[in-house]
Structure 1
Amino acid sequence: MKIGMIGLGDIAQKAYLPVITQWPGVDLVLCTRNAETLQRIASVHRIQSFVTDYRALVDFGVDGVMIHSATSSHAEIASFFLNHGIAVFVDKPLSDHYADCERLCDLAEQKQLPLFMGFNRRYLPLVSPYLTPDKVTNSLQAIRWQKHRLNQPGELRTFVFDDLIHPLDSINLTGTVSADMLHVRTQHYQGQIARLDVEWQQHETLFQAAMNRMNGVTAEQITLNFENQTYHFDSLATGTHWERGVETTLALPDWTPMLDSKGFTAMIAHWLEVVKAGKMATALMQRNLNSHFLAEAICQQLDP
């Protein structure tokens, strides 16, 4: 299987290349506009094929491409490869405007091609066993997902689409949330968004996502409530379970690689399965689109 990787910035180097370069049967072709960076990374990973123009990847016969470039370029690049009959992975977000997302999903459906999103938190090995469809439908009472940063207030649309979308998608477990269900609260700092909290209710379950970018420390916390049970994760690798007053520590096995614990390994495995199959589940596409729809609804509510 031949995969093109477009954009070789921080996230590609730290989270994707260390995993996919070790994957059996995957032949990588690298692409970035900076020739010096391109040659350096290709040399480090002993990759023989690389280009500075993403359009040249078509000539290599790639089966799929992974887009890790700036958000502003996602729609253009994804459209190009979908129109050339090639499966596409996009590191979140698909775009920072919902109209682009809808257009791309329509194009993928028209071409009958996978359009896969890089939401690694869907694949957390410590958390995801408690968020199966059966548990979400039948027993989950509440989920609160907090992802905070230190001293990074920002512009609304970038705040929401590039950052808040992680906890927002992580609680969007059904992919069927409408704009009128959202309750949004904000705090500002010197004209920028400092904190954003979003919540909704479906049936008896409460869903809450929060991001404070003027927090005392960068941190991520997840709380799940079931009947007389609570799970709390202070990181993506350790947690605590309480049931009827009894406390149990939760942890991944010793020596679990960091990128496994953060969901990247399982996500890449799923993506490669999708490329091989040439299709992906409709429910997955629906959730991807709905999470971007909610991000747009938040922006429209706060800045109509």
Structure 2
Amino acid sequence: MGKLRIGMVGLGSIAQKVYLPILSKASKWEFIGAFSPNQEKGNIICATYRIPLFTSLSALAQQCDAIFVHSATSSHFEVIDYLLNAGVHVYVDKPLTEHIHQSEALIELAAKKNKKLMVGFNRRFAPFYHQLKQNITHLSSLRIDKHRCDSVGPKETRFTLFDDYLHVVDTALWLAGSNAKLLSGSIIQTKENALFYAEHHLKIDDCWITTSMHRKAGSQQEQIIAVDEDAIHQITNMNLWRSESRSRLTEKHPENWDPILLQRGFIGAVEHFIECVTNNTEPSTSGEQAIVAQLMIEKMLANQ
């Protein structure tokens, strides 16, 4: 078997900031090209990376073994359904789809077609978060905050919860346990139905979990505080780790030359997907795993 042939659908902000810089540095794979409905914009972007822009999704699918989907969430179901039926493995930005029944249908289709379907929860591959999960022995308390400086609207609350708060919930469930029970919470909205603040409290066994997000906090800050047996861990912005154990305080920082896309887990997520396709193994953020957080947010909305 030759190098894996990779393609991309959608050339928006996340594709330009994250995935094009990673995938264009092909070594273990071949970057075939991309497709965007906006051909004029797509031509400019693809020319920058010296890759072909395909004129249709079908033309791209015919040339690829696996495709990264970065189109609008509203298009996910249609695009992924087409690609899986065309025999292509799929990596997609979270959420998998807008609706649970659509996500479940795609999970069934991927199993039927024997194709990999991975959702890009990059935080599971962030080195500090991954190390924290390995170090945890007996969590009593886990708090995850992901705040924004000035990001109220323009999208409605439901969109923001699935687009951004989903990261917080998924990371919490991944670290503490997916069978957590929702106990309480609050979703505060503006008059225009945009998310202003969300906080929720969950419990799994004897571990208490708090998730929160403020959309106008004056700071772009993400933080985890994990109270474990004999240790308290605090990770800020995925690049500063402070641990206190028996009155001893230690700090960890990324290696000097670790790029930001590695620190935030994007490189690890991409390489994991490609390894899974190459070795025919199941992605750790497969469709079935990925909708656990999506289901929890549906409960949060229903209990509001």
Normalised to the residue count of structure 2, the TM-score between the two structures is 0.91
1:102 maps to which residue? 104
Aligned residues: 296
Of 8, 16, 26, which residue of structure 1 is paired with 2:11?
A: 8
Of 36, 40, 44, which residue of structure 1 is paired with 2:40?
A: 36
CA contact (8 A) 2:67 2:89 kept: yes
Deviation of the 1:140 alpha carbon: 2.1
1:45 maps to which residue? 49
1:55 maps to which residue? 58
Specify the code of the residue in structure 2 equivalent to 1:54: L
CA contact (8 A) 1:97 1:296 kept: no
Calculate percent identity across the aligned residue pairs: 29
Deviation of the 1:214 alpha carbon: 2.1
User: How do 1:51-200 residues align onto structure 2 when only pairs under 5 Å count?
Assistant: 51-60=54-63, 62-132=64-134, 138-154=137-153, 155-173=156-174, 176-177=178-179, 181-192=182-193, 193-200=195-202
1:59-93 CA distance string (max 9 Å, x none): 22x11111001110011101111111211111111
Deviation of the 1:175 alpha carbon: 6.0
Of 3, 18, 22, which residue of structure 1 is paired with 2:21?
A: 18
**25-34 or 13-22, larger mean C-alpha shift:** 25-34
**69-78 or 101-110, larger mean C-alpha shift:** 101-110
Deviation of the 1:34 alpha carbon: 1.8
User: How do 1:270-285 residues align onto structure 2 when only pairs under 5 Å count?
Assistant: 270-280=272-282, 284-285=286-287
Deviation of the 1:282 alpha carbon: 7.7
CA distance in 2, matches of 1:97, 1:108: 17
Deviation of the 1:284 alpha carbon: 4.3
1:12-68 CA distance string (max 9 Å, x none): 111111112113132222111222222222222122x321322221222x1111100
Deviation of the 1:216 alpha carbon: 1.7
CA contact (8 A) 1:219 1:235 kept: yes
RMSD, aligned α-carbons: 1.9
1:161-191 CA distance string (max 9 Å, x none): 111001111111266336x534221223334
1:246-299 CA distance string (max 9 Å, x none): 211111111211111111111111010112134415884432121111122222
CA distance in 2, matches of 1:38, 1:175: 41
Normalised to the residue count of structure 1, the TM-score between the two structures is 0.91
CA distance in 1, matches of 2:5, 2:125: 24
Question: Secondary structure at the residue paired with 2:103?
Answer: helix
CA distance in 1, matches of 2:50, 2:285: 37
CA contact (8 A) 2:5 2:65 kept: yes
CA distance in 2, matches of 1:191, 1:38: 33
Specify the code of the residue in structure 1 equivalent to 2:165: L
Of 234, 237, 245, which residue of structure 1 is paired with 2:236?
A: 234
Mark the CA change 1:204 to 1:187 in structure 2 (over 3 Å): closer, same or farther: same
